[in-house]
Amino acid sequence: MPDNEFWRRRVTIYLYHFSEPFGHASHYLGSAEDYEQRAAKHLSGQGASLLKAVRAAGISWELARQWNSVPRFHEARLHKMKANKGLCPTCSGKKAYNRGNYIEEGNVNNSDKAGNEADKCDDF
Ligand SMILES: [Zn+2]
């Protein structure tokens, strides 16, 4: 697990659901220390190149889900899950909220053997 300060910095992780698929992509998962600022940049085409291309294709997106004040490394874990649809309430309904949650260190249930690891993703 990465443990340097950059990866431990608290960020907002956000999942965009596209109004229609763009090639193979139908979601965008990103993170920002200042979400509102980043969201505005995405809208003006100054953020991620994928979103710039999505917008140029006339596709819009909605903020489907947000993780507030979680360490940046959680985004890498969510990417690794390759489960944007499963994480997306627009696609998967309320059960999406049972997936990919960040578990705070210290909040891990001691009876949970898997809780040895301080912070982890929920299993699917
Ligand atoms: Zn979705």
Interval 91-123: pLDDT, tens: 999 999 999 999 987 555 444 444 334 344 444
Q: How far is the CA of 31 from the centre of ligand 1 (A)?
A: 17
State the pLDDT at residue 115: 37
- pTM of the prediction? 0.81
Distance from residue 41's CA to the centre of ligand 1 (Å):
21
Q: What is the pLDDT of residue 121?
A: 46
- Sheet containing 61-71: which strands, arranged edge to edge? 25-32, 10-22, 61-71
Positions of the chain with pLDDT under 50: 109-124
Helix (H) or strand (E) holding 69: strand 61-71
End-to-end CA distance of the chain: 20
Domains of the chain by residue range: 5-98
Q: What integer pLDDT is reported at residue 4 of this predicted model?
A: 86
Centre of ligand 1 to C-alpha 17, Å, is 5
